[in-house]
């Protein structure tokens, strides 16, 4: 079933308007590839013996780089996976978190050290419990040539083409639930050794890609809580309006920094929308069963991943699989629900294409 939601940007005939093909999915313990949305899943990574209740393939924060490799965290290390051989992972190094490098071809891994040992008696908010170091890596697993210890109280979250985006803890205001960190969203200098620019105070970064950062004001209940910052223009704007409601929770941004998929609060439950941050518009993709349960962070409800300009969605509750091609505005839904256990993840596709 093909549903046309709208059209913008590239034509249907351009490379960026191609539908998703070669979709790589973790079905909750088995890795499968679908030639297209309605194909029967081909199991390429079978469930190991005696792991019926475990998912040994599961990745933390799986994303596909512009270069095509799928990256995530598994067993305390960052791994790189080719969509052509998704059952095989290359260990890149120790990591508690990771994010793509600004060029979309390499990545940064994040490790944590002790503030007591590494911050030299500096006066820091009590919620600062780790000293972070980032290491730039290639997906091939070659040794890294760039290791950057970040300033104390600064936690990296992403990289734009103009530098690393981070949360800087500035205080510990008391709250009803106890002590809560107060953070600013900041852009570090080229070397990552100091804060170059404060993008927002009392805020949390939601996503970042290319030259754009999406962030949200903390303790905000207005319709303009979600903002975007353009590192080229050095300007902050309100997120585009959606008829169905206001953006809520944590969404996912495509590698070009143009399209942001997010839940929007609507009467009767949340809906899914994609915000076009270049055109300042909103595409309503409708209801998905998992979003109606109340959790509005996409990573917790919908297995959602960008592969170039294609957004692939797998509903954790219903097994519904769908794909949006952002440039053409075409939303395609699989006719038959997927059979999943222990949750599921979308890792990427074999025909990743970029915006024109």
Confidence (pLDDT) at 13:
44
Is residue 237 classed as helix, strand or coil in its secondary structure?
A: strand
**C-alpha of 327 from chain center:** 19
Q: Nearest 10 degrees: CA dihedral of 139, 160, 209, 166?
A: 100
Q: How far apart are CA 339 and CA 318, in angstroms?
A: 9
Confidence (pLDDT) at 11:
42
Q: How far apart are CA 298 and CA 248, in angstroms?
A: 10
Q: Which residues pair with 304 in a beta bridge?
A: 313
Confidence (pLDDT) at 294:
64
Confidence (pLDDT) at 120:
83
Instruction: Kindly state the DSSP code that residue 115 receives in the 8-state scheme.
Output: H
Q: Which residue has the tokens 């475990």?
A: 54
Is residue 330 classed as helix, strand or coil in its secondary structure?
A: strand
Q: What is the pLDDT along the chain (356 residues), one digit of tens a residue?
A: 333 333 344 444 455 667 789 999 999 999 999 999 999 999 999 999 988 888 999 999 999 999 999 999 999 999 999 999 999 999 999 999 999 999 889 999 999 999 999 998 899 999 998 999 999 999 999 988 899 999 999 999 999 999 999 999 999 876 656 668 899 999 999 999 999 999 999 999 999 989 999 999 998 988 889 999 999 999 999 999 999 899 999 999 999 999 999 999 877 788 999 999 999 999 999 988 888 766 788 877 788 999 999 999 998 888 999 999 999 999 999 999 998 877 889 999 997 656 54
Identify the CA nearest to 61 among candidates 339, 290, 332, 297. 297
Name every residue whose Cβ is closer than 8 Å to that of residue 62 and which is 6 or more positions away in sequence: 26, 70, 71, 72, 305, 345, 346, 347, 348
CATH of range 2-349; options 2.70.98, 3.90.1690, 1.10.8, 2.130.10: 2.130.10
Confidence (pLDDT) at 352:
64
Q: What is the dihedral sign for C-alpha 60, 72, 294, 218?
A: positive
pTM for the full predicted model: 0.90
The helix (run of H) or strand (run of E) holding residue 299 is helix 298-301
């Amino acid at each position: 079933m093909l549903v046309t939601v709208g059209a913008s940007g590239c034509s249907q005939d351009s490379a960026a308007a191609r539908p998703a093909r070669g979709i790589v999915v973790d079905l909750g313990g088995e890795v499968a590839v679908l030639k297209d949305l309605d194909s029967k899943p081909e199991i390429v990574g079978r469930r190991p013996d005696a792991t019926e209740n475990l998912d040994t393939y599961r990745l933390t924060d799986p994303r596909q780089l512009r270069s095509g490799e799928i990256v995530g965290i598994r067993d305390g290390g960052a791994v790189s996976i080719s969509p052509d051989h998704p059952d095989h992972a290359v260990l890149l190094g120790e990591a508690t978190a990771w994010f793509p490098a600004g060029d979309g071809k390499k990545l940064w891994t994040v490790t944590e050290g002790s503030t007591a040992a590494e911050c030299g008696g500096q006066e820091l908010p009590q919620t600062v419990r780790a000293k972070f170091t980032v290491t730039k890596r290639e997906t091939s697993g070659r040794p890294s040539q760039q290791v950057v210890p970040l300033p104390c109280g600064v936690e990296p979250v992403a990289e734009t083409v103009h530098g690393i985006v981070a949360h800087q803890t500035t205080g510990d205001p008391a709250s009803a639930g106890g002590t809560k960190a107060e953070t600013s969203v900041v852009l570090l200098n080229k070397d990552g050794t100091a804060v170059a620019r404060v993008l927002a105070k009392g805020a949390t970064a939601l996503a970042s890609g290319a030259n754009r950062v999406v962030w949200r004001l903390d303790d905000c209940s207005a319709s303009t809580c979600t903002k975007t910052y353009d590192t080229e223009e050095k300007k902050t704007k309100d997120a585009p309006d959606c008829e169905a409601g206001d953006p809520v929770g944590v969404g996912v941004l495509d590698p070009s920094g143009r399209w942001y998929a997010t839940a929007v609060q609507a009467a009767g439950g949340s809906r899914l929308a994609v915000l076009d941050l270049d055109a300042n518009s909103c595409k309503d993709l409708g209801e998905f069963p998992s979003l109606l349960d109340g959790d509005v962070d996409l990573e917790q409800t919908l297995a959602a991943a960008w592969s170039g300009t294609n957004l692939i969605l797998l509903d954790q509750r219903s097994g519904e699989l769908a794909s949006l091609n952002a440039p053409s505005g075409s939303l395609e839904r699989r006719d038959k629900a997927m059979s999943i256990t222990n949750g599921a993840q979308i890792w990427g596709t074999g025909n990743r294409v970029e915006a024109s």
